[in-house]
Structure 1
Amino acid sequence: MSDDNQGASKNEQLLAAAREDNEDLILELFEEGGFDINYQDGLGNTALHYAASHGSTIVLEHILEHEECDVDPINRLERATPLHLAVRLDDPELRKEVVDSLLEAGADTYIKDKNGDTAADLVSGGDPEILELIRKARAQASIAREDVVDDDDDEPGSGTGSEYED
């Protein structure tokens, strides 16, 4: 383990691994256990928030694969999810990769931050690629909700999912 992280709790090391995209550290933590994948620091940020906002793609994938990972934690300062932070990344390729990973993991595109903005509202310059990824994720989520609807009563009009239309 690097000297920088000696004395830090496993949860603090997890946050550091996410900020630094340190795959060795995250794999070591996963092997040892004893940490909370959804641990929030004083600002309410989780490792997923840091991985998303720093474009730490390697560590991001490991976090998302963890079975207890909450893909939509909300931080305290901005009431932002990792998806809110990812759409703000400056590098277009990195932004697309991080947003795509979060959406594939089931990130909720309808959560609003403290200003009432969804991640789609924050897409810089109306980036068409990111907006298309979000549109597709919303369509998939709508289809998935319709698949779950229990339509045993055979009444017409039930289970249409119309309340989810944009």
Structure 2
Amino acid sequence: MSEEKGASNNERLLNAAREDHADLLEEILEEDDVDINYKDGLGNTALHYAVQRGSENVIEKILECEGCDVDLQNRVDGATPLHLACQLEDDDARATMIWHLLEAGANMRIKDKHGSIAEDLLPGDDEDNKKLFRDYQATNAIAADDIAEDSDGEPGSGSDED
């Protein structure tokens, strides 16, 4: 008599994200043997599936997890969750997913296998999200400029005084 092995917690995690089942996802995340960045055969994570589904409750729970990598690329197109978010047909879901990912620090400069950054995949008339990308790019540029360097090129106070 052979015992059938059930789905692992990682597989259950992906399924909960695919099915927009926030309560089940939360229950699975309480287990010790769950990898929030677990990839299936296509290279998709729970975050990829939550974004594709446009599930705000699920994406919020995933992004709260320590160690969640928002920039993992899948094997099919080399798409990050941000690439997928930009391709959502529903305007509200697209805006919500993009906002959450940018807030979580998603890298806007990653190119997929076709050489496209996520912003390239936005519909041509999506001015609100194009502005959101510009705002985050400006914020990131300002944050990088805030790092002062000493005259010897080492980070520091920016003062030449000894």
Find the partner of 1:151 among 124, 146, 149. Answer: 149
Is the counterpart of residue 71 in structure 1 residue 70 in structure 2? Answer: yes
Q: 2:59 maps to which residue? A: 60
Aligned length: 149
Q: 1:160 maps to which residue? A: none
State the Cα distance separating 1:125 from its structure 2 match: 2.4
Q: 1:49 maps to which residue? A: 48
Mark the structure with the bigger radius of gyration.
2
> Per-residue displacement from partner, 1:34-80 (whole Å, max 9, x unpaired)?
11000011111111111111112111001111111001001111011
**SS where residue 30 of structure 2 aligns?**
helix
- Equivalent residues in 2 for 1:113-128 (5 A)? 113-128=112-127
Q: 2:135 maps to which residue? A: 136
CA contact (8 A) 1:20 1:56 kept: no
CA contact (8 A) 1:87 1:123 kept: yes
State the Cα distance separating 1:126 from its structure 2 match: 3.5
Q: 2:94 maps to which residue? A: 95
* Runs of at least 5 residues in structure 1 that lack an aligned partner in the other structure: 1-5, 156-166
Q: 1:37 maps to which residue? A: 36
Q: 2:103 maps to which residue? A: 104
The amino acid across from 1:105 in the alignment is A
The amino acid across from 1:153 in the alignment is S
- Hey, what's the Cα distance between the residues in 2 that align with 1:126 and 1:80? 22
- Runs of 4+ in structure 1 deviating by more than 2 angstroms, as ranges, are none
- Hey, what's the Cα distance between the residues in 1 that align with 2:88 and 2:110? 19
- Hey, what's the Cα distance between the residues in 2 that align with 1:43 and 1:111? 18
CA contact (8 A) 1:45 1:76 kept: yes
- Hey, what's the Cα distance between the residues in 2 that align with 1:58 and 1:49? 14
* Runs of at least 5 residues in structure 2 that lack an aligned partner in the other structure: 154-162
State the Cα distance separating 1:22 from its structure 2 match: 0.7
TM-score by length of 2: 0.87
* Between structures 1 and 2, the one with greater helix share: 1
Q: 1:18 maps to which residue? A: 17
State the Cα distance separating 1:154 from its structure 2 match: 6.6
- Hey, what's the Cα distance between the residues in 2 that align with 1:144 and 1:20? 38
State the Cα distance separating 1:33 from its structure 2 match: 2.6
The amino acid across from 1:61 in the alignment is E
The amino acid across from 2:144 in the alignment is R
**SS where residue 152 of structure 1 aligns?**
coil
The amino acid across from 2:56 in the alignment is T
- Hey, what's the Cα distance between the residues in 1 that align with 2:128 and 2:8? 39
